Amino acid sequence: MKTLEQQKHAASAWFRELRDRLCAVLENLEDERSESPLPAGRFRRTPWRREGGGGGEMSVMKGRVFEKVGVNISTVHGEFSEQFRKEIPGAETDPRFWASGISLVAHPCSPLVPPVHMNTRMVVVRGGSEPVAPFADSPIPRSWFGGGADLNAIYPDAADTESFHNALKEACDAFDAAYYPKFKTWCDEYFLIKHRGEPRGQGGIFYDYLQNGWERDFAFTRAVGEAFLSAYPPLVRRHMHASWSEEQRRFQLLKRGRYVEFNLLYDRGTRFGLMTGGNPEAILMSLPPEVAWD
């Protein structure tokens, strides 16, 4: 059985490995659209350090398939701010925390290629459980996994939506038949733009506070990453060579506005990053490069 430090190291190492694999696949897609007059994009990596402990690395690419795509990793530690402690289980008992994760957001050039979001993370809160003898003076850390993936097509395609959901369902079913319906519903409810009463996209899965044994939950979190890695590139290839109109581009920019509204008003990851002193550029990487409201 791994110690907590070994668990933390294994999780952060996986997020870095997944980042490298995702960047390689997305750069390959840039190369495949060879008919474009634009140069193929390449990721630019920018490390950053967090005042208070830890840091991360931004990987951002702008090219001929992706107008902007970011794959960020971070591993941070420290103490939750006093105003944020009440929102995290266990943090009011002991505000010390450790968190590591990966976040991907893709905004394609073509309105016909679906934007997508994926993130997974591991969080440890020192005050998560009551002290237990013989460690009465040292609370047992509480840790959990969370994350998910969701599709945000400008022009939804039934076949795309089905294949994306099927990949996530297969990953879920390998662990628990109840996971997919539960996490799909959670995703639909979470990614609702409440002030407009409309969904952000075509959904996927969302899970948080997963605590069914570290080994099992870590394996599931890896399976979600693998499912995304296999599911999304075929959707890009299916549409990236098709032409689009100015009208479709305009609609794309309007739909991106909805994405911005959700991320700035409701997104937990955005709030967590800003409230724990993360890098604003990395946190707001999710925002599209060009957007419109009407």
Which of the residues are catalytic? 117
171 — phi, psi (to 5°)? Answer: -65, -40
Neighbours of 244 (CB within 10 A): 17
Tokens of 132: 């237990």
CA distance 240 to 109: 9
H helix or E strand, kind and range, residue 207: strand 203-210
From the number of C-beta atoms within 10 Å of its C-beta (0-12, 13-18, 19+), residue 34 rates as exposed
* 156, 141 Cβ separation under 8 angstroms: no
Picking from 60, 92, 65, the residue whose alpha carbon sits closest to that of residue 79 is: 92
Token look-up 């890896």 returns 222
